[in-house]
Amino acid sequence: MRVLRLKPHEDRRLRAGHLWIFANEVDVRRNPLTDFSPGEAVTVCDARGASLGSACVNPASLICARLHSRTPCAELDENLLRQRLTAALRLRERLYIAPWYRLCHGEGDFLPGLVVDRYGDHLTVQISTAGMDRRRPEIEAVLREVLKPVSILWDNELPARTLEGLPLGRVVSGPAPEILEVSENSCHFAVPCLTGQKTGWFYDQRQNRAELARYAADAEVLDVFSYAGGFGVTAAASGARSVSFVDSSAQALNFAARNALANAPHCIAHTICGDAFAVMRQLYNEGRRFQIVSVDPPAFIKRRKDAAKGLAAYRKATALAVRLLVPGGVIASSSCSHHLEAQALRTCLTQATAGRKLHARLLFAGGQGPDHPIHAAMPETSYLKCFIAQLAD
C-alpha cells in the first residue's frame, strides 16, 4: 500500500480523532496527489513517517482523504466492511425492535461516505466519496450477505458527489417498490421510494416526533414543512383533534393525508400546498391559532457562505410559527443545517417569544437520533437540532 505523507504539524487533527485530510495538508512535493487514483487506499503518515492509519484518497476533492482505520495498510475490503456494517447493525438492533432505521451513517459508523437506510427488506444506499464508490461491488456483497434485502436502491443524486467528481443517478437492484412502508413510534407511514424529491424517510427526527406527541392530546396541530407527515401524524396518533400539513410538494401532502388517515382515522386532517412562509402569514391573517406547531424546514444553510441569509430564514420561520400559537401552546423548532449552531436556533425562539411579550419554557432539546451517530471528534457530523418549548405569559 502506498504512503500519503502529511506536512509537519498537519497530523494534529487526525491524532485528536478526526477522520479527514485536506489537500493543503499533504506533502505534495513528496507525494503529489495526482499520483493517486480516485478511491485508492493508502497508509497515512505524519511528516516523520509515523503511521496515522489507512485512508481512501480522492485527488479531485478538497477533502482529499478520509481515514477508515487507525491501523496502517488496512484495505477497505469486504472484511472491514462486514465488520463495520455488522457493528452498525448490532447497535440498531439494540435501539429498535423493528428493522426501520438508518443502518449506517458515514463517519459516525466509521465508514466515511456511506449512508444506508433500512426499510424492512428494502435498502437505500447513498455513496458520496470516490473511496466508497470504487467499492460498490463489495458493499453490495456485504449488504446482501448480512441483511438479505429484497431490493437496494443506489440513490446517488447527491450534490456531494459532484465535489468528488462522481456521476449522479439512481440505480435499483432488485424489485424496489414505488412506495415504502415505515414503522416508527407505533405509527406506520407510506413514503415515496422511486419518485419525488426524497427517496424515503427522515429517520433522524424519530425521537423528536415522539417528544412532541406527548403534548398532542386534543390539540389542533400545524405541521409546517411536513413532508409525509412525520410530526403531525405522530401527534395525531397520540390524540390530536386536528392536523394541518403545510408543504410546497403536493406529492408529500398526499402521503401526509394518507398517513394521517391510516394512523388516526378520527383526527381531522387538512393539507395546504404552498410556500410555508406565505401560508403561515395567511393563516395568521385568517385568525387561525394552534396548540402545537412544528417547523422543520429543509436546510436553509447548505454552505457556510449562506449563513446570514439562512439565519434570517430560520428567524422568520420561527417568528411566523410562534405567532400562530395560543399562549400555553407548544412549538417544535428544528434545523438540519450543520452550519447553524444550536444556540442560534434557540435565540430565534427566544426572540420570537420576547417579540410577543411571552416566555418560552424549554421542554426538550433534541438532535439526530442514535441511528445517526455523531462522530465525537467531528463536529461536522452533527447537524440536527430540535427545540420543543411551551409559550407562557
Which sequence positions are flagged as catalytic?
336
Q: Which residues contact 210 (CB under 8 A, 6 or more apart)?
A: 185, 234
207 binds ligand SAH (CB under 6 A): no
- Dihedral sign for Cα 243, 245, 250, 256, please: negative
Indicate the residue whose CB is closest to ligand SAH.
Answer: 230
C-beta of 249: minimal distance to ligand SAH in Å? 4
Contacting residue, 210, 252, 269, 325, with ligand SAH by CB under 6 A: 252
C-alpha 231/C-alpha 254 separation (Å) is 15
- Dihedral sign for Cα 65, 71, 77, 80, please: negative
Q: Which is nearer to ligand SAH, 99 or 298 (CB)?
A: 298
248 binds ligand SAH (CB under 6 A): yes
368 binds ligand SAH (CB under 6 A): no
C-beta of 296: minimal distance to ligand SAH in Å? 4
Angle, helices 342-355/307-323, rounded to nearest 10 degrees: 40
Contacting residue, 101, 231, 255, 383, with ligand SAH by CB under 6 A: 231
C-alpha 186/C-alpha 319 separation (Å) is 32
Check if the beta carbon of residue 181 is closer than 8 Å to that of residue 189: yes
Three cell numbers at 269? Answer: 386532517
Residue 344: enclosing H or E segment and its boundaries? Answer: helix 342-355
C-alpha 351/C-alpha 144 separation (Å) is 50
Contacting residue, 58, 61, 69, 226, with ligand SAH by CB under 6 A: 226
Tell how strand 169-173 and strand 151-156 pair up: antiparallel
C-beta of 20: minimal distance to ligand SAH in Å? 27
Check if the beta carbon of residue 39 is closer than 8 Å to that of residue 69: no
C-beta of 288: minimal distance to ligand SAH in Å? 17
Tell how strand 220-224 and strand 187-192 pair up: unpaired
Stretch that binds ligand SAH, among 6-14, 107-115, 290-298, 317-325 (CB under 6 A): 290-298
100 binds ligand SAH (CB under 6 A): no
C-alpha 262/C-alpha 189 separation (Å) is 8
Contacting residue, 96, 101, 215, 227, with ligand SAH by CB under 6 A: 227
Q: Which is nearer to ligand SAH, 254 or 382 (CB)?
A: 254
195 binds ligand SAH (CB under 6 A): no
Contacting residue, 36, 100, 225, 314, with ligand SAH by CB under 6 A: 225
Check if the beta carbon of residue 391 is closer than 8 Å to that of residue 359: yes
Q: How many C-beta atoms lie closer than 10 Å to residue 303's C-beta? A: 12
276 binds ligand SAH (CB under 6 A): yes
Q: Which is nearer to ligand SAH, 182 or 378 (CB)?
A: 182
Stretch that binds ligand SAH, among 100-108, 115-123, 162-170, 241-249 (CB under 6 A): 241-249
* Closest C-alpha to 283, from 323, 316, 235, 327: 323
Tell how strand 268-273 and strand 242-247 pair up: parallel
C-alpha 139/C-alpha 337 separation (Å) is 29
C-beta of 292: minimal distance to ligand SAH in Å? 13
Number of residues assigned to the chain: 393
Q: Which is nearer to ligand SAH, 64 or 276 (CB)?
A: 276
Contacting residue, 43, 205, 263, 368, with ligand SAH by CB under 6 A: 205
> Binders of ligand SAH: how many residues, by CB under 6 A?
16
230 binds ligand SAH (CB under 6 A): yes
- Window 297-336: residues binding ligand SAH (CB under 6 A): 297-298
C-beta of 80: minimal distance to ligand SAH in Å? 33
Q: Which is nearer to ligand SAH, 153 or 187 (CB)?
A: 187
* Closest C-alpha to 5, from 23, 41, 30, 35: 30
Stretch that binds ligand SAH, among 168-176, 220-228, 361-369, 384-392 (CB under 6 A): 220-228
203 binds ligand SAH (CB under 6 A): no
Please measure the distance between the N-terminal and C-terminal CA atoms of the chain and give it in whole angstroms.
Answer: 66
Q: Which residues bind ligand SAH (CB under 6 A)?
A: 202, 205, 225-227, 230-231, 247-249, 252, 275-276, 296-298
